[in-house]
Structure 1
């Protein structure tokens, strides 16, 4: 992730951007956890690459494209949780990095049931 200015270039690694996103996801009410598919989850446990679990980052001319998968708590209004999550991620990344954000895609892959 690159920002160009008159003073030079600033580069952010995907790991840094993913960590900011992960912290924001966990802090958003209604989100139980980041989610990965079974195969991806097993592969990440073997390789130890869990920072970017459930997060896909790409860039194009208009900015950063973010796709992430989450698990939400049972009983929440999923559309509202996802909308708030998108707003929180945009605000966090713009505040901490200044990177332009194009789109944030959120995929709900599961529902966390309370401990019954």
Structure 2
């Protein structure tokens, strides 16, 4: 006997999936940060506690779909960065939650020079 029975259910909060996806995204090479949306024509870069910003998720009992809004580093091959991002997020969410990830959609909302990334991250801290 395995010690488990089917008398209950486990539900994963969309906030948990969003946090996993956001943290994985900002750890992906080429990603400068998450975008909180476009305000007055400028994307706001977010990191740290705000990793859920720029992430939208739909979570069912067995599946999830994830939308990411990101800013990439200038000089990166955007299509390669986004493909790696999709793979990394899908694998992280699947391994940590057991949910099947049916899609990871990426919207690139900005490009930033490396110096700007460093300055912005220092202001956030």
Q: If the TM-score is normalised by the length of the shorter chain, which range does it land in?
A: 0.7 to 0.9
Change (3 A) 1:79 1:66: same
Matched, 1:28 2:28: yes
| Counterpart secondary structure, 1:23 | helix
Structure 2 residue aligned with 1:74: 74
Q: Is the 8 A contact 2:64 2:103 kept in 1?
A: yes
C-alpha deviation, 1:83, in angstroms: 0.3
Structure 2 residue aligned with 1:45: none
The alignment's C-alpha RMSD in Å is 2.5
Q: Which runs of 5 or more structure 1 residues have no equivalent in the other structure?
A: 43-48
Structure 1 residue aligned with 2:52: 52
Q: Is the 8 A contact 2:23 2:51 kept in 1?
A: no
Q: Is the 8 A contact 1:62 1:102 kept in 2?
A: no
Counting matched residue pairs gives 105
Q: Which runs of 5 or more structure 2 residues have no equivalent in the other structure?
A: 117-125
